[in-house]
Structure 1
Amino acid sequence: EFADAAYRFGHSQIRNRYTLNAKGATGNVFPDCAGTCPVPHERVIDWRYFFTLDSHHTPQASKKIDTSLAHALLHLPTSVVGDTTTPEQHSLAYRDLERGLALNLPAGETIARYMGVEPLRANDVGLNKLGYQGETPLFYYILKEAEVRNSGHFLGSVGGRIVAEVLLGLLDGDPTSYRNADNAWTPTLPCERAGDFTLADLLRFASVA
């Protein structure tokens, strides 16, 4: 439920194209931002375009969490997918849904009821308008739940709980994690705002921003 559905919510937040730096360089998700090749100097990323590093520059926002994926993710290159005789394999949406089906993941409504959460109605999900009468594949349900109940700004009750419980469980199960650290321990890395260490602070510490 986590790895093959809920945690894939980030797929819907990927933009088709990104501005990389102040020189006006831009990049599509594929092939420009896929790695595996040297980065020309004029395309080196200015991290201010991706994280809040100063008050004078607003970074690019991710897409909202919804059931629409960027065009590039629906036409994955062969370098990512490999050789296939199934054209649908080039769609990340298809691959995400196929993965859930292969693992026989429970429907989103099933998990919602188990959690004691009111499931989305068929009209909210919208698949009934396409002639689909079954309950909703978990991956699609989690995206639609965020879209319908939180306007795509954050996960809903089902998706949020699955993601949070797994991540917190991993930390709690690791005796060396900060959640199991001595109560007297406090972070020592420098941060812009005391007690609030962010990814922007990590970039500054790594001297790349």
Structure 2
Amino acid sequence: MLPQANIQLINKQLCSENFELKLKLGNLKLELERQVLLSKEGQEWKDKYEQLYKQNQSLDQEKKQLQDEITKLNDQIKNTEYSVQQQLEKTRDLNNYEQIKNNAIIVQKHNLDLQRELEQYRQKQLFKINSKITNDNTKQYYSIILEWDNNIKNLQLTYRQVNDSLIFDGYGEREDQKIVYQQIHHLEKKTLKQNQKPLISLKQSQMRLIFEV
């Protein structure tokens, strides 16, 4: 049988080792919690990156579509001008001055119409409308977000509801150019009641409208 002094010494050592083990266990628990938090934060940043990447891809696609439309309209203008040149060459030796003059006026008007359409299309691409439906308890809400190019200054926006559509009108300036915007957003025959005043954020260049369905 061990002496009483040895038993007390062993007991003291065991208590000390037990305390150290508890301390290590507590530290491991804290480290585990820290790693879990870091993992969650890392996942959140990963989700944000993936969201921004998808938005960037969408913007690149919209930019390509806009460039294709601009190229198409420019080609139409060039083709029209080429047709006019050919027509003028064919009728150069004719004495029908009034006919040539009328043709030139018609073609000039057509070119102006194409240029006006091109400018309207360019300005319309400076604005973007998104909509979605959300549910809150027993109520259903229809949200519309109108975003615009952040280089547009002194923008004045109005909207009005006509039958099953919202009509947006806007006036502003962008790089010494006047911006005139009008767009019709169809509500798919929804009966809407405006829930609150429009939320306008100049910093984010957007206006949010919320309606109760």
TM-score tier after normalising by the smaller chain length: under 0.3
Structure number with greater Rg is 2
Q: TM-score of the superposition, structure 2-length normalised? A: 0.18
Higher relative helix content: 2
Higher relative strand content: 2
